[in-house]
Chain A
């Protein structure tokens, strides 16, 4: 035996009309009797807000990372520059030439150093 339908098509329109009027009047949650879930809803909103806020903070931090990376790179460049300069100048024959140019009497040793045991 076919079960008798308990609702009418006009009920859908009624539901929509009631829903829209509830939204406009600001009573939707109360009409839905969702007042007891208010804390949960507020918590969900809070989570969304934190998510957006965190995303902004992360973006800000990342931009700082990029700036700091650029600074580190700059320092590495200075370090490499100085290291190269020092290494180039440490060549034995270069040192000797510089000493000669400066009129220094310092020369390569002509006998071994003496070490104390």
Chain B
């Protein structure tokens, strides 16, 4: 019993034990913390369940989380040697918080001092407006100062000052009075954004395409935008990212409790273009057509024979919004389809040679005073000149080709294919001149080839087809055909995109592809080259005889049809299409090239042997001099 009583008394004895000094201090500290924590708990319960703050205070106390879309960087477009043709470029939009320090000055106890400070601020604002007008030509100093002053009076916190200024200008603006005091005292708000820039300006604009920024093109705009920017928009754009930001004492930081989607930058597009060749081709063509009011457009395409890689593609047309100067607006090379004229004679010649009808270019035809037998075709009066000058009634195929005789090629077509015109038409299709193909730009038109069974096929159709009428072709189709002859019969597909790259690594290889492994034998291709060479040496394109290397090619001049169904209008004017197409060096072709000029209705003649041949000569000379494959090799001793 005693033991039990002792045990019950033990805690009482412990509590009664005299506390030591340290224990007392700790106890007081403990009680203090206890009281504070109880208060904190009560306050928390009060805030959570009872307190109903004003919305302004609630907003200020609630940590704001903002969603931000992370814009991917649009991929670059580069030329075959890695030079930038299109790139993302940062620009700045400058805004102003006009209310900055306004309340501070108004609340000053010393009213006079407040007014003085306000006047001082206004003075700096005037200096700022003056400075801005010097740096940004579109800004008027007086108007800008008035906007700032009015904005300050009405409490505007986001007044647009300047848009799309470059970095150097932005830095200079930052040094102007008021803005040099920083964002809190000067009210300067700077926002950067990426826009699309083209280092070579409007060069190859129709081929490269054009976008303002990376905000995505609407589908209808992509369809209407024939450039690479539109066609490859999905690859160039990349994928948008998303993040949530929270406001902390150290500013806005990413909220790691929320989801985060990283932006995937767009991929780069390596094109086949060589910007030097493009520049020279553009200049060569522009210099020759700029002053000719009768011309409405022109195009020039340079292609590599072995691969079909397009090294230059110039498309110039009159721009009424720019004083009718020539600009890259319409892609004639792929989007203008018209009767090719004499450049089509090569098709007829290749057909009769491939079918074994003629073995040699020196075989002759009777001149027949320029009248194609068994047809209602018009007489070729040039043959009468030939008969008179050469005192003969025979003409060789080569001479007919040299002088580009409609009679000779009309006769070749009619004489050999009149019984079976389908055979000739099928030849045209086998040369890739009847179909479209998948090209790197939107808008490649399909050629028009008449069907012998259709009601539109007449007595003259076959004969006129023989020298380049009754069909419609784009310049690119004609070039592809000539390129195949240069490539010894192998027809390759023209292309513009070499590969798609990511940070310099190839992710998707494009490149050469074959349309027709052999449109003719090597021997016939060589014969064709001989014929084409005679045109530049002794025929309608003699202008190219003085080129730095031998050029094989053919001129062509055709007329567009007027609404009256004729090739000449009521005033006796014609609408010309002058073309030269060929390849060089003739002995070992490396490049094929086509140039076409399009006139308005005019009485001046624009022949293929004129401007097109001259522009091509300049380009050939440049390429032959500068291209590494044409270097003279000095053998080792």
Contacts and interface: CB of A to CB of B under 8 A. Distances in A.
A23 B34 contact: yes
Given A80-B90, A84-B199, A117-B635, A92 B276 contact: yes
A115 B253 contact: no
A78 B248 contact: no
A78 B167 contact: yes
B27 A26 contact: yes
Contacts of B87: 80, 83-84, 87
B250 A91 contact: no
A90 B85 CA distance: 11
Interface in B447-503: none
Contacts of A117: 633-636
A87 to B, nearest CB: 3
B158 interface: no
A12 interface: no
Given A84-B87, A93-B283, A59 B253 contact: yes
Contact of B631 (A24, A92, A112): A112
A24 B34 contact: yes
A113 B631 contact: yes
Given A87-B84, A91-B275, A117-B634, A66 B199 contact: no
A83 B251 CA distance: 32
Nearest to B250: A63
B636 A93 contact: no
B275 A109 contact: no
Contacts of A6: none
A109 to B, nearest CB: 6
A98 interface: no
Contact of B634 (A66, A73, A76, A116): A116
A115 B633 contact: yes
B34 A93 contact: no
A90 B167 contact: no
Contact of A87 (B83, B622, B624): B83
B197 A84 contact: yes
B192 interface: yes
B279 A93 contact: yes
A65 B279 CA distance: 44
Contacts of B250: 59-60, 63
A90 B192 contact: no
Interface residues of B, number: 44
A91 B200 contact: yes
A58 B533 CA distance: 76
A108 B622 contact: yes
Nearest to A114: B632
Given A84-B89, A110-B625, A117-B635, A59 B248 contact: yes
A99 B252 CA distance: 51
Contact of A62 (B199, B253, B630): B253
A44 interface: no
B51 interface: no
A18 to B, nearest CB: 12
A116 B636 contact: yes
B88 A80 contact: yes
A77 B90 contact: yes
B604 interface: no
Contacts of B630: 112
A59 B87 CA distance: 35
Nearest to B167: A81
Contact of A66 (B84, B251, B276, B280): B251
Contacts of B256: 58, 62
B253 A65 contact: yes
B166 interface: yes
Contacts of B251: 63, 66
A17 B7 CA distance: 22
Contact of A80 (B89, B279, B628, B636): B89
A65 B280 CA distance: 48
B489 to A, nearest CB: 29
A59 B279 CA distance: 53
Contacts of B84: 83-84, 87
Interface string B223-256: 0000000000000000000000000101111101
Looking at B89, B252, B253, B632, which has the most chain A CB atoms within 10 Å of its CB?
A: B253
Interface in A10-43: 23-24, 26
Contacts of B166: 81
A4 interface: no
B203 A91 contact: yes
Interface in A45-77: 58-60, 62-63, 65-66, 73, 76-77
Contacts of A108: 622, 625-626
B30 interface: yes
A116 B167 CA distance: 46
A65 to B, nearest CB: 7
B287 to A, nearest CB: 11
Nearest to B88: A80
A63 B253 contact: yes
A92 B625 contact: no
Contacts of B108: none
Contacts of B83: 87, 90
Contacts of B626: 108-109, 112
A13 to B, nearest CB: 20
A26 B192 contact: no
Interface of B: 27, 30-31, 34, 83-84, 87-90, 166-168, 192, 197, 199-201, 203, 248, 250-254, 256, 275-276, 279-280, 283, 548, 622, 624-626, 628, 630-636
18 contacts: A24-B31, A59-B248, A59-B253, A66-B252, A73-B192, A76-B90, A80-B87, A81-B89, A81-B168, A83-B84, A84-B89, A88-B199, A91-B201, A93-B279, A112-B625, A113-B631, A114-B632, A115-B633
4 tightest Cβ-Cβ pairs between the two chains A and B: A87-B199, A63-B250, A62-B253, A77-B90
Given A87-B200, A112-B625, A116-B636, 17 more contacts: A24-B31, A59-B253, A65-B253, A66-B252, A77-B192, A80-B87, A83-B84, A84-B89, A87-B87, A91-B199, A91-B275, A93-B283, A112-B624, A112-B630, A115-B628, A115-B633, A117-B635
